[in-house]
Structure 1
Amino acid sequence: MNEIPPGLLFSLLALLIVISAFFSSSETSMMALNRYRLRHQAKSGHRGARRAMELLSRPDKLIGVILIGNNLVNILASVIAGVVFTQLYGDAGVFYATAVLTVVILIFAEVTPKTIAALHPEKIAFPASLVLRPLLWLLAPVVWLVSSISNGLARLVGVEATAGSEAEHLAPEELRTVVFESGALLPSKHKGMLLNVLDLDQATVEDIMIPRNEVVGVDLENNGDRILQQLAESSYTRLPVFEGDINRVVGILHLRRAAQILRDGPEAFSAERLKSYTDEPYFVPEATPLPTLLMNFQKKKRRMGLVVDEYGEVMGIVTLEDLLEEIVGDFTASPVPSEDEEIVSAGDGWYLIDGGTSIREINRTLHWELPTDGPKTFNGLAMEHLESIPDGNISFYILNYLVEIEEVSEKMITRARVKKINK
């Protein structure tokens, strides 16, 4: 090799640096590929993505062939550099070769190509796969030997290099982060809906039900004229029908079926006839997770359920609309217009909040973070904090939220002013 002209050796050295840069960038780009985007591209017929997926199916072999090629090239480059600098500077050439080659490889064969590959993995990995796949076949015996020894050492420390791709599966929290960080790639409304779907597991029927004291239903113990008037003026599509008390519910009435009763007038009305138009009630335990409720509604073709506690007492009702609003947000106006809104802006960051408003509704509307692992309504949260019903208008803190009581009844806090304090 000492007889080879220095110019040719320098050219060969430069070629080896380029090859080393190729292996370095290939390794980084392959490892930096987004596996989910890669899988989508492969299913769409992208040839480069398919080749990359095939190589990544056995990362131990892929890394093996890249490192074998890279180390061979770097070692050969160091030998050639030693010869060249020895020809030029004698015995001191070894020192010069080590110093210069370290800097050259570090800049031109490591840092620069790996940085570019990390920023543009697909542009590097897909073309590189054209070289790596046949190279893997040519070096198969060497790669097998190196991989076998490497995998054996990995097993000694409890790592199975040939295990499945469980690590590629996203946990719900990780998927939530992916959706949240999607940025402009996903419309904000769609992003909110996807996040709400992922959050369904964290809520139960009790969190979204209409409480018993707000349930509107038909009491068969009322006189016929009053019942007919209620049916004619109702803004709801379905009404629970009961006898004196909602715990004695007999069925769910769809007002479309009640049209015939209204047409026939009071003379033809009877409680038994009204009962014949009702559907069998569907009871839902209060602790039922919302995804389970959604599947049960779909399976049983239901749109309303009566929520019961562990003692069988009716706690309220839940409807399909309530469930869908947890996903898409409020998409219907209140069926009964009211002058008293549950959440009203009072200016300067203050909000007037009705005591019966659910904590989840407050958090969703105002983007607050009131605790939801205890009481379900604002009144319940305030009462838990105070441990009693306040005698008058007082103020106190719940975490970093300032609460001023405005109206109190004998049984509950009916209205309060609340402001989030940025501490």
Structure 2
Amino acid sequence: MNDMSLSMLFGILAAMLILSAFFSGSETALMSLNRYRLRHLVKLKHSGAIKATTLLQRPDRLLGLILLGNNFVNIFASSIATVIAIKLYANEESSIAIAAGILTIVMLIFSEVTPKTFAAIKPELLAFPAAWIYTPLLKLFYPIVWFVNLFANQLLRIVGVDAQKKRHDTLNKDELKSIISESESLMPARYQKMLMGILDLESATVEDIMTPRNEIFGIDLEMSIEDIITQIKISPHTRLPVYKTSIDRIIGFIHLRKILILINHDDFDKQTLINCLDKPSFIPESTPVHNQMHRFKHEKIRIGLVVDEYGDVQGLVTLDDLLQEIVGELITDDIAVRVQSDGSYLVDANITIRELNRVNQWSLPTEGPKTLNGLIIEFMETIPETGTSIKLHGYPLEIIKRDENTVKLVKFLPKKTNLYRNTK
């Protein structure tokens, strides 16, 4: 090596620095690949992605090969730098230290930081070509890589890590929700909410989405026939429960399509109405939403009464309610949350906590009361007066409207505001 010219030595040193940059950058690129995008590219028969996936199935072997090559070129570069220093400074001992210092800075900039930063930003640009190079190299140097990994894997087993065990990249529900919430540039907000609704189906029950008992619009057979006809004509719904005195004494459900033709007949009476009734369906309040969707589909029904453990009616749920849990405001004209010009929100207190969290990406507790009204009353331990300001689980709000026994409308203020009094 001492017989080589300086130009040749500098050329070899430059080649070693380029190889070192390749090994460093490709290592970062392969380890930074998005595993889910990689699987998608494999399905599309992308050759580079296929080879990268094969290499990443055994990361211990891949890293062994990369580090074998990287350490070799770095040590060889250090030897070349030492020879150059001796040639330039006539065997002065200080020249070796100077050469080592300069080489460290050069390698740090050109062979480590720059290629690794580039690889972290554009991993596919470097990883896929590198996979073509590493595939034959791994076969060529497999005996050496196997020998190195034999000792490395034994050391890992001492600390409880099995390097040969295949890694399964899976996402839990919360991680998947985080990905969806951060994909604003890839899909419209309404589709984000729809996907969030689908993910929430696993934990939602019919109790979370039902129409409460006190809001059920139905027909009481104890009313006069004239009042019954009026109720049918003004009904905002196509299916109505029919009961005697109390909703707990349900008789059945009537579809307006069946009855509207008959109510104009002179002989229309309560018995005619009863003859048109469909059998009532009862749903336990703890039934998961996704199970109830399957039940509605299997039994070909669209409406049911939600009952508690004692058989008392707690509310009513329809197929539309279940679909709305997924698609939200896409199938309703009601706007429960309205954004104001000052950044505040006017919110209908009858909105469910789950829907409010989904619409605004909040984290109000869903264990306990199901509606915002119920959460406020539980928090305050009373029905607050209009104008009352509180901080509800970290969210400042003001009571805008109430009636005798419920909160009707609230205004959520921006979190930075101090225009509230903390009642707890």
Cα distance in 1, alignment partners of residues 344 and 120 from structure 2: 48
Q: How does 1:87-126 map to 2 (within 5 A)?
A: 87-89=87-89, 90-92=91-93, 93-126=95-128
Cα distance in 2, alignment partners of residues 408 and 230 from structure 1: 24
Letter in 2 for 1:165: R
2:304 is the alignment partner of 1:305? yes
Q: How does 1:105-254 map to 2 (within 5 A)?
A: 105-166=107-168, 168-254=169-255
How many residue pairs end up in the alignment? 412
Counterpart of 1:82 in structure 2 is: 82
Counterpart of 1:338 in structure 2 is: none
Q: How does 1:2-401 map to 2 (within 5 A)?
A: 2-89=2-89, 90-92=91-93, 93-166=95-168, 168-259=169-260, 261-262=262-263, 265-267=265-267, 269-271=269-271, 273-332=272-331, 356=350, 358-360=352-354, 371-388=365-382, 395-399=388-392, 400-401=395-396
Q: Does the 8 Å CA contact 2:23/2:66 hold for their aligned counterparts?
A: yes
Cα distance in 2, alignment partners of residues 384 and 414 from structure 1: 12
SS of the counterpart of 1:248?
A: strand
Counterpart of 2:422 in structure 1 is: none
**CA displacement at 1:35 relative to structure 2:** 0.8
In structure 2, the CA distance between the partners of 1:369 and 1:86, relative to structure 1 (3 Å rule), is closer
**CA displacement at 1:238 relative to structure 2:** 1.2
Structure 2 residue ranges without an equivalent (≥5) = 419-424
Letter in 2 for 1:71: N
Deviations 1:280-313 (A, max 9, x none): 3222222233333333333333321211112110
Letter in 1 for 2:243: F
Letter in 2 for 1:25: G
**CA displacement at 1:243 relative to structure 2:** 3.0
**CA displacement at 1:34 relative to structure 2:** 0.8
In structure 2, the CA distance between the partners of 1:329 and 1:66, relative to structure 1 (3 Å rule), is same
**CA displacement at 1:398 relative to structure 2:** 3.9
Cα distance in 1, alignment partners of residues 131 and 344 from structure 2: 60
Q: Does the 8 Å CA contact 2:284/2:306 hold for their aligned counterparts?
A: yes
SS of the counterpart of 2:301?
A: coil
SS of the counterpart of 1:240?
A: strand
Which stretch has the larger CA shift, 108-117 or 241-250? 241-250
Deviations 1:189-247 (A, max 9, x none): 21222223223344332222111121112333434444344334433111122233222
Cα distance in 1, alignment partners of residues 97 and 181 from structure 2: 53
Q: Does the 8 Å CA contact 2:26/2:130 hold for their aligned counterparts?
A: yes
Cα distance in 1, alignment partners of residues 321 and 388 from structure 2: 33
Letter in 2 for 1:46: H
Q: Does the 8 Å CA contact 2:259/2:276 hold for their aligned counterparts?
A: yes
**CA displacement at 1:39 relative to structure 2:** 1.0
**CA displacement at 1:135 relative to structure 2:** 0.3
Q: Does the 8 Å CA contact 1:352/1:415 hold for their aligned counterparts?
A: no
In structure 2, the CA distance between the partners of 1:342 and 1:125, relative to structure 1 (3 Å rule), is closer
**CA displacement at 1:131 relative to structure 2:** 0.7
Cα distance in 1, alignment partners of residues 339 and 45 from structure 2: 54
SS of the counterpart of 2:20?
A: helix
Please give the TM-score of this superposition, normalised by the length of structure 2: 0.86
RMSD over aligned CA atoms reads 3.0
Q: Does the 8 Å CA contact 1:228/1:266 hold for their aligned counterparts?
A: no
SS of the counterpart of 2:329?
A: coil
In structure 2, the CA distance between the partners of 1:243 and 1:15, relative to structure 1 (3 Å rule), is same
Q: Does the 8 Å CA contact 1:196/1:326 hold for their aligned counterparts?
A: yes
In structure 2, the CA distance between the partners of 1:27 and 1:351, relative to structure 1 (3 Å rule), is closer
In structure 2, the CA distance between the partners of 1:289 and 1:398, relative to structure 1 (3 Å rule), is farther
Q: Does the 8 Å CA contact 2:383/2:407 hold for their aligned counterparts?
A: no
Please give the TM-score of this superposition, normalised by the length of structure 1: 0.86
SS of the counterpart of 2:283?
A: strand
Letter in 2 for 1:151: N
In structure 2, the CA distance between the partners of 1:407 and 1:104, relative to structure 1 (3 Å rule), is closer
Q: Does the 8 Å CA contact 1:29/1:120 hold for their aligned counterparts?
A: yes
Deviations 1:1-54 (A, max 9, x none): 222222222211211111111111110110111111111111112111111111
Which stretch has the larger CA shift, 113-122 or 1-10? 1-10
Q: Does the 8 Å CA contact 1:200/1:290 hold for their aligned counterparts?
A: yes
SS of the counterpart of 2:258?
A: coil
